[in-house]
Chain A
Amino acid sequence: MTAPPPAGVPIIRLGDILLTGLLDDLDDKTALRFTEELTERIADEGARGVVIDISRLEIIDSFVARVLTESAAAGRLLGARMIVAGMRPAVAITLCGLGLALSGVETALTAERAVAALGWRRDPARVHGSRPHATR
């Protein structure tokens, strides 16, 4: 086995869904290892869907846009539905200025909506007043 060393980015399993999120102070090596580890986890665990929560990212530059686009493309090639969720409004406006609208990448307003779109429902009694991170 030549498994890569664990990336600094946690990937949580919810049934046949994987839930993960990027942090703002992501360095380049961690970012590249993230794509590798996520892709391997999708294959190993037969994940049907993946939610990448980016609500903590204060900026997305062309490097992070590439990491997101490539992670989503690699997961999709393995048959997983990939959803990038929680982009901040200021980040969305800036990304359009950069000319990187993440075309071809499915997005959702919040991680919770993304997880719901993948068919996973939390206890209805606990739906109200929750933050996206509460699903972890």
Chain B
Amino acid sequence: MRPGEASAVDAPVSPVGFTESTHPVRDEPDLLATRHAVRSAAVAAGFDLVGQTMIVTAASELVRNAYIHGGGGTLTISAIGAAHGRRGLRLTVADSGPGIQDVEAALTDGFSTGAGLGHGLGGTRRLVDEFAIDTEAGRGTTVTVVRWVT
């Protein structure tokens, strides 16, 4: 995480048991590898099966977008926790591709500049508790999401 960015999804990090890992998103095998990494992190964080399925699906959408639209990038998985014991996962998917021209349009179901169904971004927002996009034409796109263990 870059400090000062996506403050809406910054969460207090517990000093104990904090883990963070970064994974490349360069090719198709990476799409599967990142899904497996998120699944393991979700199990370790204590998500139930529906919660695991939602966060892994969200990761799959974001990582595929970074691969297809962003020309590749990275996924950072952070186990986060508040002082009172709430646990969750933060996923940060960053690429240095063309950026998203119109974020509102991109979040609309059915909007795609490619062959997709155009549900990836808008759908992902509904699968998580916190969602932020930082994008700039020519500089790239960073999508940060948090899902808390219910």
B9 within 8 A of A: no
**Contact between B61 and A66, CB atoms less than 8 A apart:** no
Minimum distance in angstroms from B58 CB to a CB of chain A: 9
Does B64 lie at the interface of the complex (its beta carbon under 8 Å from any beta carbon of A)? yes
Are the C-beta atoms of A66 and B117 separated by less than 8 Å? yes
Complex-state Cα separation, A65 to B118, whole angstroms: 11
Please state if A62 and B28 are interface contacts (CB–CB under 8 Å). Answer: no
Identify which of B50, B60, B123 contacts A100 (C-beta below 8 A). B123
Tell me the interface secondary structure of chain A in the complex.
helix
In the docked arrangement, what's the CA distance between A69 and B120, Å?
15
- List A contacts of B60 (CB < 8 A): 59, 61, 63
- Among A25, A61, A69, A89, point to the contact of B61 (Cβ < 8 A): A61
Q: Across the interface, do A62 and B53 meet the contact criterion of CB distance under 8 Å?
A: no
Please give the number of chain B residues whose Cβ is less than 8 angstroms from any Cβ of chain A in the complex: 26
- Secondary structure at the B interface, as helix, strand, loop or mixed, is helix
Q: Report which of B52, B64, B123 forms a contact with A98, defined as CB distance below 8 A.
A: B123
Partner of A99, one of B28, B57, B122: B122
B54 CB to closest chain A CB (Å) equals 5
The answer on a CB contact under 8 Å between A94 and B50 is yes
Contacts of B85 in A (CB 8 A): none
A residues within 8 Å of B by Cβ? 25, 27-29, 58-63, 65-66, 69, 88-91, 93-94, 97-100
Q: Which residues of B contact A (CB under 8 A)?
A: 28-29, 31-32, 35, 39, 49-50, 52-54, 56-57, 60-61, 64, 109, 116-117, 119-120, 122-124, 126-127
